[in-house]
Amino acid sequence: MPLNIPDTRQAELAARLRNGHQIVAVDVANEYGVSIDTVRRDILALEAEGKAQRVRGGAVPIATPAAPLPARLAAETPICPSLITAALAEIGDAQTLIVDGGRTVLAVVENLPAQDGRLVITPSPWVAVACQNAGIDVFLLGGSLRAQGGIATGELALDRTAGVSADVAVLGACGLDRDFGLSTDDPDEAQMKRAMHKAAGRTIIVTQSAKIGRRARHRTLPLSEIDAIVSDASPDTARALRPCSTRLVLNP
């Protein structure tokens, strides 16, 4: 491949971004045998075309908002079983959980074992029904239901969340970036995630690898406030989050 031609390099970098991979300028310069300034010019060109989002040291994919939850539940492939198993191990025997919505989190809840005294608090009707089906006690936080993540938001939901206490918060992600942290497509959902984090003693993010190295529209939590990230990402993909103090649990 003639990587001395800018159009060729940029087409290759654009393909990487479309596949959910982050561009690290130093690594690409070494791989392609070009200067870091050349890679930076490539990134600027891709950003001008709407194909990249420039960040310190490189670029991340443009994070387009996800489809509404019902559409994703019907259309997308099943969640990796090893990711579900790892998330359940992180939750352990916690008695009180406050649980987000979204497809990945729902898959975890559908496999959550019932145990004496366990209570799940959630703004998601899908999560609430899954808990009832499993014989797990559930407290549903009411409010205005957002189609995208399938969770209740607004003043009522925030007020009820402020009045509960949980051992563990289990949150999904629209994006996870080392510098931008956890991010969310919808501003009201971002506010709810922050409230759920505040209500819990420990916060776990459960996410698929495609969300790592991406920035959704609304910054939600810094990585420093997250206790663990459970993902099916490979160690190479997870490099986009390092260095960080958050514990990474990878099950590719």
Q: What is the largest CA-CA distance in the chain?
A: 64
Provide the whole-model pTM. Answer: 0.76
Per-residue confidence band for 93, with pLDDT thresholds at 50, 70 and 90: very high
What does the radius of gyration of the chain's CA atoms come to, in whole angstroms? Answer: 19
Task: Domain 6-60: state its class.
Answer: mainly alpha
Q: Per-residue pLDDT for 100 more than 80?
A: yes
Question: Which CATH number is 69-250 given?
Answer: 3.40.50.1360
Q: Domain extents for the chain?
A: 6-60, 69-250
φ and ψ of 138, to 5 deg: -140, 140
CA separation for the pair 252, 221 (Å, rounded): 24
Q: Per-residue pLDDT for 185 more than 70?
A: yes
Give mean pLDDT, residues 149-176. Answer: 94
Per-residue confidence band for 32, with pLDDT thresholds at 50, 70 and 90: confident
